Chains A and B, each alone.
Chain A
Amino acid sequence: MSPSGVARPPLQSFQLDNGLSVVLAADSASPTASVWVWYRVGSKNEWPGVTGASHWVEHMLFEGSPRYGKGAIDRAIVSVGGELNAFTDTDFTAYFSTVPRDHLSVPLDIESDRMTRALIADEEVERERTIIHSEREGNENWPEFRVEEDLYALAFRRHPYRWDALGHREDIARMTPAELRGYYHRFYGTRNAILVVAGGFDPTAIAAEIRERFSPLPATGEDVTVAEVEPPQRGERRSELSGPGTTPYLQIGWRSPALADPATPATLVLDTLLGGETRMFSAGAGWWRSAEHPSARLYRVLVDPGLAVRAASDFRPKFYPGLFTIQALAAKGVSLDRIEHEIERVVERVARTGPTAQEMEEIRTKIRRGAALAYEGASRIGFRLGYFSVLRSPEYEDELYRAVLRVRAEEVRARAREMLRPEHRVVVRYTPTGEGQDD
């Protein structure tokens, strides 16, 4: 375990002349090696009319580059037993390949080829358009997706966090291949990229290979700073949705601090108090909430007495202020009014009395334990290092971890009082249209 308590291999980082940042985390015992490229480009860099462009670019980087024709990237990685994928969020686009350690050169070659030279051919853009529609349609089948999309649209009026990374249907239908290529060439480049390599390799040899492969790339990638600042919210905002389904559902959101904000550590503790864990330092095997947390405040007030079948909070800090949310799926026969009322009471109580000493101790233990296990396996190491690097720096995780452990109960109470105000909340409620109510 490192002195900070976050258990990960030692890091080596450097920057090439073209601006590419490199982070290496070597572990000689690892049978695999994981290569991640994180671009500081996400839906935050889009504008109305081209929403969804970052996600579309994510798809297109598998569809051809000078040395890897369409489908060749998939074949190159999967045929050596590796796995690969990519994902796009508001703040970043990330690509990863994990391979048996002897094949580490394969993903490095691929990433150097497609970092600035993806082809994004017209016919491939057109073919991919339907696939992206299909991806969005699959998400729309879930009420939870519809609610979250509406929540962000309501909470943000100026900042680009107001649209989902998948983009609006209309923009997916309209965007031209030329616009997509323009977006790619404008933002996706060495200056906005972080290459993370984790797992079994010789760091000196890999550093040399990276320099050889990536140094010839031009220094590209425009500034990705978002100029729009979301003005303060004055008054509650609400929306009522209805549609297919069986279970009433609601999400409440409040403006939350950005990752680097000094208020973030206390907000992470507040999330753990209400929902049972923080994704940032979770003992669970994945990034997603994996288990029920019967000792969490929301669970005890909503799920225990039978008002909800599920209830949790969620705080994923972003580069800019995002949302802290609470969501609940109502139990049969329980109205969303009742659920909302109970959530208000939970929030009021935390703001009034804060966590108990016992709760604070339990939260610290949980976070310590989570941090000790969060780094098992090259893929997870690559993910975590990339995530922190793209939003701040690879070392920031240590700083954040120490800050979270220093948070006092009084700070959590103050955070709840300041952030979770009724006049600052955004509420989206989903009422099913009633089918399938019984056998």
Chain B
Amino acid sequence: MTDRTDPLRIEYGAELDGLQVVHQPAPTGAASVSATYVGPAGWAFDPPGREGTARLVNQLVTSAAGRLDRIALARRLDRLGATLARQCAPESAEVSIWGPASEWGHLLEILADVVLRPRFDPSDVARARRQMRERQLREATQPASRAEVELWRAVFPEGHPYRESGVGSARSLARITRADLQKFHRAQYSSGEAVLVVTAPVGPAAVERAARRLFRSFATRTAPSLSLPPLGNRRPTERRIDLPGRSQVEVRLGGVSIPRSAPEYPAAYLANEILGGRPMLSRLFQQVREKGGLAYHASSALEAMRLGGHFEVQAGTGGDRYPKVVRLLRQELARASNEEVSRATLDTIRESAIGQIPLALESTSDAHELAVDVAYHRLPGDYWLGWPAKLRAVRPRDVRAAAALALDVRRAVTVLAGPLG
């Protein structure tokens, strides 16, 4: 018999014109509810010459919808004690709502309204455009964001969706009309290939009934297809962006990695945790901060998406220390692929990762993130229950092999942004 109250077990319900309804029991005693729509509406689908469209649409769907203009929607949310959130990525876009469990039905109504019936009021479009422009300018001049932008431009070729941050340019932003935004919304905020995840202290049948009633008028029911262009034979490079007047140099190393569906993912996950993903215990933290005393932060991240992925190693350090930091980052990245990790290190990191699962169940919003991850990647409903066993099956040689594939130093690009002198 399965435990239908365990938040680690999510339940796939009906598919409504392609929209997969997913239910997750709320953690015991939780006072709140979370619901998320994830659709194929990332910036990979930006029309050529109108880069920035996906992000603008994602921002605007949470601004005003149906009969509620921006202020009316804000007041409705305030009255309910609810918060709308959004997130845009290369392949997908998310819209979420969080609020009191007792209002879960009203919250789903609002979520349906904003996903299906955004208004794109001209004043909202103008405001969102101004905010996006400010973000573009900041990305160009703030060392941390500039280093990120330059990293992915060096790793991925022209036309690759992972190459950009989705904000577009001044020129592309100026070209985007309200009609473009509406058209993008109709095509991409579809039911096809989309998921609706609800974490609530109500049963799956009630969630499904509400979803049938509220999420039935998508303009598009078929998912747009997406494929990644070939990567070509790109050489590892080093880019140096001198930004005088700043206090700190941001260092990034990164490259192409594996998709979430890759069989090597659990081993690659552990390889990244050992390298720089696990706070405090990782090699980067230990070598760069604890032993070297060279930087306040040093970490790594593995972003495994549906179609592909990328990895990144990062640190921020003073203008006089960055050469040493770059050497250490490269050294540790190379070690991940070149040297088999000890059984003791692997066990420590693995048990830390497994032990952390209860922390993800502290609140509804924390648990909800687990469910969205599973649902978006179409993983089995008991994925998180089986995750410890998957990690325990990983051997030291698997970690090394996965690192060679997913954290490949030979193809890693290096970017430095800050006061290089």
Which residue numbers of A lie inside 8 Å of B, CB to CB?
7, 27, 29-32, 70-71, 74-75, 77-84, 98-101, 103, 126-138, 140-142, 243-247, 283-285, 290-291, 293-295, 300, 303-304, 306, 309-310, 329, 331-332, 362, 365-366, 368-370, 372-373, 375-380, 432-433, 435-439
The reply to whether A138 and B316 contact each other, CB–CB distance below 8 Å, is yes
User: Whole-angstrom distance between the alpha carbons of A362 and B296 in the complex?
Assistant: 42
- CB under 8 Å from chain A, chain B span 355-411: 355-359, 361-366
- Answer whether A439 and B169 are a contact pair too, CB < 8 Å, given A131-B289, A331-B130, A365-B79: yes
- Answer whether A439 and B170 are a contact pair too, CB < 8 Å, given A79-B348, A81-B351, A294-B74: yes
Contact of B243 among A244, A304, A306 (CB under 8 A): A244
- CB under 8 Å from chain A, chain B span 59-93: 63, 70-71, 73-75, 78-85
User: Whole-angstrom distance between the alpha carbons of A375 and B363 in the complex?
Assistant: 9
Q: B338: which A residues are within 8 A, CB to CB?
A: none
Q: A130: which B residues are within 8 A, CB to CB?
A: 293-294, 318, 321
Q: A369: which B residues are within 8 A, CB to CB?
A: 78-81, 99-100
Most buried by B among A135, A141, A142, A247: A141
B235 to chain A, nearest CB (A): 26
The reply to whether B134 and A332 contact each other, CB–CB distance below 8 Å, is yes
B297 in contact (CB, < 8 A): yes
The reply to whether B31 and A372 contact each other, CB–CB distance below 8 Å, is yes
Q: A80: which B residues are within 8 A, CB to CB?
A: 351-352, 355
Q: A370: which B residues are within 8 A, CB to CB?
A: 81
Find the B residue at minimum CB distance from A247: B134
The reply to whether A31 and B362 contact each other, CB–CB distance below 8 Å, is yes
The reply to whether A244 and B246 contact each other, CB–CB distance below 8 Å, is yes
Q: A140: which B residues are within 8 A, CB to CB?
A: 246-248
The reply to whether B137 and A247 contact each other, CB–CB distance below 8 Å, is yes
10 closest cross-chain pairs (CB), A and B: A81-B355, A369-B81, A74-B280, A377-B362, A246-B137, A127-B293, A137-B247, A140-B247, A377-B363, A137-B248
The reply to whether A376 and B364 contact each other, CB–CB distance below 8 Å, is yes
Q: B130: which A residues are within 8 A, CB to CB?
A: 306, 309, 331-332
The reply to whether A306 and B126 contact each other, CB–CB distance below 8 Å, is yes
24 A/B residue pairs, CB under 8 Å, sorted by A: A31-B358, A31-B362, A32-B358, A32-B361, A70-B290, A71-B290, A74-B281, A80-B351, A131-B289, A134-B294, A138-B316, A141-B143, A245-B141, A283-B99, A285-B83, A294-B74, A304-B123, A362-B78, A369-B100, A372-B81, A372-B100, A375-B31, A433-B245, A437-B137
B234 to chain A, nearest CB (A): 24
Most buried by A among B83, B286, B366, B418: B83
Q: B127: which A residues are within 8 A, CB to CB?
A: 303-304, 306
Find the A residue at minimum CB distance from B325: A134
Q: B293: which A residues are within 8 A, CB to CB?
A: 126-131
The reply to whether A244 and B244 contact each other, CB–CB distance below 8 Å, is yes
B419 to chain A, nearest CB (A): 9
B269 to chain A, nearest CB (A): 15
- CB under 8 Å from chain A, chain B span 20-42: 27-32
Find the B residue at minimum CB distance from A284: B83
The reply to whether B140 and A295 contact each other, CB–CB distance below 8 Å, is no
User: Whole-angstrom distance between the alpha carbons of A284 and B351 in the complex?
Assistant: 32
User: Whole-angstrom distance between the alpha carbons of A82 and B357 in the complex?
Assistant: 9
The reply to whether A283 and B81 contact each other, CB–CB distance below 8 Å, is yes
- Answer whether A373 and B74 are a contact pair too, CB < 8 Å, given A78-B279, A100-B358, A245-B141: no
The reply to whether B316 and A98 contact each other, CB–CB distance below 8 Å, is no
The reply to whether A378 and B362 contact each other, CB–CB distance below 8 Å, is yes
The reply to whether B134 and A31 contact each other, CB–CB distance below 8 Å, is no
Q: Given A291-B84, A372-B100, 4 other A-B contacts at CB below 8 A?
A: A29-B28, A81-B351, A130-B294, A141-B247
B182 in contact (CB, < 8 A): no
Find the B residue at minimum CB distance from A290: B83
B134 to chain A, nearest CB (A): 4
Find the A residue at minimum CB distance from B293: A127
Q: A84: which B residues are within 8 A, CB to CB?
A: 280
The reply to whether A329 and B75 contact each other, CB–CB distance below 8 Å, is no
Contact of B278 among A78, A103, A243 (CB under 8 A): A78
Find the B residue at minimum CB distance from A370: B81
B295 in contact (CB, < 8 A): yes
The reply to whether B359 and A134 contact each other, CB–CB distance below 8 Å, is no
A144 to chain B, nearest CB (A): 11
The reply to whether B278 and A436 contact each other, CB–CB distance below 8 Å, is no
Q: B246: which A residues are within 8 A, CB to CB?
A: 140-141, 244
Find the A residue at minimum CB distance from B135: A309
Q: A310: which B residues are within 8 A, CB to CB?
A: 131
- Answer whether A83 and B296 are a contact pair too, CB < 8 Å, given A306-B130, A366-B81: no
Most buried by A among B85, B98, B351, B362: B362
The reply to whether B170 and A438 contact each other, CB–CB distance below 8 Å, is yes
B353 in contact (CB, < 8 A): yes
A195 to chain B, nearest CB (A): 20
- Answer whether A81 and B356 are a contact pair too, CB < 8 Å, given A30-B362, A134-B317, A295-B75: yes
User: Whole-angstrom distance between the alpha carbons of A133 and B247 in the complex?
Assistant: 10
The reply to whether B363 and A376 contact each other, CB–CB distance below 8 Å, is yes
User: Whole-angstrom distance between the alpha carbons of A149 and B88 in the complex?
Assistant: 33
Contact of B318 among A103, A133, A329, A378 (CB under 8 A): A133
- Answer whether A436 and B296 are a contact pair too, CB < 8 Å, given A81-B354, A101-B358, A131-B289: no
B142 in contact (CB, < 8 A): yes
A381 to chain B, nearest CB (A): 10
Q: A247: which B residues are within 8 A, CB to CB?
A: 134, 137-138
- CB under 8 Å from chain A, chain B span 266-292: 278-281, 286, 289-290
Contact of A244 among B71, B245, B281 (CB under 8 A): B245
